Amino acid sequence: MTERGEVPMKIEYYSLSGIYDIPIKRFEPEGAVTGFIVAVHGFGGDKESSAIEALAERMTAWGFAVIAFDFPAHGASKADGYFCTANCRLDLMNVFEHACGLYPEAERKTVFATSFGGYITLLSLDSLPGDVRIVLRAPAVDMKATFERMLPLALEEYKRAGAVELGFERKLDVPYSFYTELCEADISRKDIQREMLIIHGSEDELVLPEHIRRFCEVNPKARLEVIEGADHRFKGEGEIGRVINSAEKYITG
């Protein structure tokens, strides 16, 4: 592996074309690329995540490229009508294959995913090669329960309405069919048989600590690091830095 030093970083925006376009933001070191990280944002987030940028600033210094992208109906995506877990999984795999094509000689391959992105990554592990390192920040291991906590109305009202508006900077209409997908793909008690690093805040108000503990009990290969006092977004002083430090050690170790 390349020794970490001060390496300038390049940023490029473009799209992968298909049934709909997948907006990409790629960070690269100025020198040789020795590995890559596919960065996956959370529900209502996007590829402009400050955590992804902090990760890229750190990891390009190790010779890693970082490839971030927007799920349908998120960020710069214009594919509003395509938002569902199945398409999110396809997008993750398309971006991963794109990264493999860009960097065929990469020594290390990693997926770094947050919250809902962590859930999508866990659903996709059968398709990701066994040597890919997995780093999950506040992964929604019980996405059904997490989504229910996010809803501004009762489930019966949601079902009658057929959709609900959710999101942060950008709002998206989430169809009730999305919730039925979550009910059918419950991984909260499934032993996935995969090594991974899970970074979680002790005060997470969305992905509850008991969800993470229960998941780790049935997934003994998962390594859990708890950041005391951190909430779901890790916005406290120094908290994102601690996330990046843990990810760096796991990815390069």
Give CA–CA dist 63/70, Å, rounded.
24
Whether pLDDT at 3 is above 50: no
Q: Give this prediction's pTM.
A: 0.95
Span 121-127, average pLDDT: 97
Span 192-200, average pLDDT: 96
Average pLDDT over all residues of the chain: 95
- CA nearest 200: which of 236, 243, 241? 243
Whether pLDDT at 168 is above 90: no
Choices 3.30.70.260, 3.40.50.1370, 3.40.50.1820, 3.60.15.10: CATH for 9-143+188-252: 3.40.50.1820
The conformation of residue 152, written as its DSSP 8-state character, comes to: S
The pLDDT score that the predictor gives to residue 44 is: 94
pLDDT for 55-112, tens place per residue?
999 999 999 999 999 999 999 999 999 999 999 999 999 999 999 999 999 999 999 9
- pLDDT-based confidence at residue 7 (cuts at 50, 70, 90): low
Give CA–CA dist 76/249, Å, rounded.
31
| Parallel, antiparallel or unpaired: strands 163-167 and 171-175 | antiparallel
By percentage, how much of the chain surpasses pLDDT 90?
A: 94
Span 168-185, average pLDDT: 93
Count CB atoms within 10 A of the CB of residue 216: 17
Give, for 121, the enclosing helix (H) or strand (E): helix 116-123
Give CA–CA dist 67/221, Å, rounded.
26
By percentage, how much of the chain surpasses pLDDT 70?
A: 97
Domain ranges of the chain: 9-143+188-252
Position 132, amino acid: V
The dihedral built from the CA positions of residue 42, 224, 151 and 235, taken in this order, carries a sign that is negative
Give CA–CA dist 97/244, Å, rounded.
24
